[in-house]
Every structure is written in structure tokens, then in C-alpha cells.
Amino acid sequence: MDVTEAAVNNTPQSAATKAQQQETPTVLTTPCDPWPRPYYLEGGLRRVAPYHYTYNTWCKERWRGRKLVEIFESEFRDRPLEYYRAAMESGQVAVNSKTVGPDYILQNGDLVSHTTHRHEPPITAEPIRVIHEDNDMIVINKPSGVPVHPAGRYNYNSVVEILKSERGAHFLPRPCNRLDRLTSGIMFIAKHPKAADRLGTQILKRTVRKEYLARVVGKFPDGEVVCDQPILLISPKLGLNRVRANGKAARTVFKRLAYYPPTEGQNGGRPGQSQGYSIVRCLPVTGRTHQLRVHLQFLGHPIQNDPIYANQKVWGIDLGSNDPDGVQNSDEDIITRLSRMGKEDVADAVAYYDEMVDEYYKKKAEKMSGEVCDVCSTPLYTDPGAQELSLWLHSLRYEDAEGAWSYVSPLPAWALPPRGMSGPTEVGGMEDLVGAVGEEEQAKPE
């Protein structure tokens, strides 16, 4: 596992600060920080030309007294051990900026560094469109498949870095709301700390309403549907959640916007394809991880291209619906099935949980292209497929509960009527959904 989370501070450190860093898993990175960013567009994807990058981390307590090569063998397994041995001999892997070799015994206070030729995954070439901008805030429509912050295998291919590239090195984007990598839609980017704090306070106090759109399996019931099933994290490693009586309180209001029946010949492919699909409005009253995906699954209408919660290989033919006690599928069975899925299936499934993307590619590997990098001889991967760039879940609207402001994005292409069918191309106001929530429920803390 390469280490990729925060930039190195080259200023002198106090002994206390240094000691604290040594005891925590804080990871430091030193990019060469090329400017302008090495982007290029090709094949409908935004790509980053490979570049050299140095990862740094302080010696952890569990590493002390162990050989350098042992640490990389057990904890940084994205490359073969032979690569790391050669890198230690050449100085690409160093300790305290010195070449020490693979048998070096790590000590308290050591700074381990790894300089590598970094290859970022490509993302969609769809631009980040601006919905609104003023002196305090930029409201954007984030494309699906683009991470917000540099993380894991993504660095320059992130919302923050793309905006910096477009607006200049002086611009410091401050994202105010959270969207998963594969979720598209409205995001707020503050231009200064006060604006970020102001909106952050509103979100924490729950005086901001938000609405999502989802494309789900089958014909969703008409009228407002309220799901208040609690949600439990059953596997932190996989980021897997499900409805459980002992989970955290969660509440979502749903309303069908449209239903499109299956066309002739649709009797296979995606889960529930023979049932047609619905476009559903979603108002999350609480904000649990994967809340919309889990509640839709429980109701029997999972997001149609959700590789985890609409995966029959994991949940069975009923896709985990109406199973609050885990009678049909125990937690252990679900976790085991997900863990045992084949390489390509896991690529489709696990890649939807941002924090697992890195781990998946290290342990299972992407599909190789058969080519290697001319500079570092790293095996090159094929481009991501559509299933790795999109989830049919979209952040449609944010509005102030008092009516001071409201921002709505256009409907994504997957929510528009299919060819030859009629249906809505825009969404009305939130009044009916808010009415289903009720003032008393909205006032409850999470």
C-alpha cells in the first residue's frame, strides 16, 4: 500500500510534534507539483501524464526493530517484493533521505520515503460545470467518477486539483459538502474560510435541505414512501452497510418521478432489467453512509447499476430486500460472498466504495493491458469501463430551509426519458417531500 494523504512540511519540528507523528498513522507526501498540471484529453477521458512523486511516512511504533524490507512486504504490497528490494538498494526507498538497503533496522524517529513514477487512473473528460458563482461560493455540478479530494490512486484527477488548474495556483478550493466519487451533482466550493464555515454550520444544524435522484430497479410505488429503518455498518473494511434493528437511526423520503417499462427483448443484463426502471426522488432526513442505497435496497428497488446493493451474487435473488434481521442472509455470508467474488466482479463492486478502491487494485489488480511503462516498467492497465465511472445516483438540489437560496442541477442523461418514450425532463419543488418528513422529524438531531 502506497501512502498518499498529506503534504510534507519542511519546516523544523519540535520533539513533541515529531513524537506525535511517529505514534500516529499520519502519512506525508511530497509531490514534484508540476504546473500547469499534466492533463490531456483522449478517448473521452481526462488523463494525467505519469510523474514522479515521493511518499513519506514516519516510523510507526509497530515498525520499530524490524527490517525495512519486512515492513514493505507486509504493509505496502502493491508491488512485488523484488521491486522494493531493488528500490531500497538504489535509494528510491530511503530512510532519512539516505540509502540504507533492505536489511536496515527501523528506529524511532525514522522518516521512510518512496520515490515512484506515479500513474493516475483516468476519469471522465466531462467538464466541471458551474451552476452559480459569487464572491463567496462556487456551486458546481460534479461529474460522476471524479473524486472530490486527492486520495488513494487519485491526485490531480480530483475536483480540487482540476479547479486549481483551471483558476490558477493561487486558488484554494474548499469543498463544503460530501459526494462520493461515483455520485454526480451539486457541490459547494467555498472561496474563503468564512464562507466554508458558514455553510458548514448550516449543514450541521440541518437547516439545509438536499434532494437526490436515483434510477432504481422495477416500478417504485406511487406517492410518498418513507423509510425509517436503522442502518448498521457490518464491515468497516468493505464499507458495507445494511438495515439492522441495532443500527443508527435513519430516515429517507422517496417519491417516484417516472416509471419506464422494459422494452422488447429486455429479459437479462442488469438486475431487474426485465421489470423496467423508475426514476425516484430521494430526500435524506439523516445522513448515514450509503443511506439512500441501503434504504432503496431494503424497499426492493435498489439502484439499477449498484454493483454492491443490486448484486444477486452477494444478496441472492431478492437482493436483500425486507430482511431487517438478516434471516435470509447473515452478515457473515454477505461479507464472505463479496470477498470471494471473482476479479472482474470485485472490480465492479468494491470500486464503488472510495476507501476500498486502492485496496482492491493492490490485492486483485486491474485488468492488465499487456504493456509496461517505458520509464518505470510498471504494468499498465486498461481504461476504466462505464461501471467504474458512474452510479445512477445524483445530487439534484440544495436549498436553504428558510428559502434564502436554492440551487438545482440539470437532470443527468440516465434520468431522462429513453428514446421513444415520454416522461419528465425536470423536477418540481420540494414541498411535497418536505411535507412527508414533517417539521417534528426535521428538527430531530441525528
Please list the active-site residues.
Answer: 180
276: left (phi over 0), alpha (psi -120 to 50) or beta: left
Beta partners for 5? none
Cα end-to-end span (Å), the chain: 35
- What is the radius of gyration, based on Cα positions, of the chain? 24
Q: In 3-state terms, what secondary structure has residue 441?
A: helix
Running DSSP on this structure, what letter comes out for residue 151?
A: B
Cα–Cα distance, 278 to 173 (Å, whole number):
36
Cα–Cα distance, 230 to 232 (Å, whole number):
7
C-alpha cell at 249: 437511526
Beta partners for 133? 138
b (16+ CB within 10 A) / e for 17-37: eeeebbeeeebbbebeeeeeb
Q: Residue 362: which H helix or E strand, with range?
A: helix 354-363
Cα–Cα distance, 32 to 237 (Å, whole number):
31
Beta partners for 100? none
**Contact between residue 418 and residue 260 where contact means Cβ atoms under 8 Å apart:** yes
**Contact between residue 319 and residue 298 where contact means Cβ atoms under 8 Å apart:** no
C-alpha cell at 366: 486491474
Q: Cell 443511506 maps to which residue?
A: 291
**Could you give the angle at which helices 81-90 and 68-75 cross, rounded to 10 degrees?**
140
Which residues have C-beta within 8 Å of that of residue 181, sequence separation ≥ 6?
145, 146, 147, 148, 154, 354, 357
142 CB-contact burial (10 Å; exposed 0-12 / middle 13-18 / buried 19+): buried
C-alpha cell at 259: 416509471
Q: CA-CA-CA-CA torsion for 340, 341, 342, 343, nearest 10 degrees?
A: -90
CA nearest neighbour of 30 among 111, 108, 146, 121 = 111
Which residues have C-beta within 8 Å of that of residue 56, sequence separation ≥ 6?
3, 8, 27, 28, 29, 30, 111, 112, 113, 114
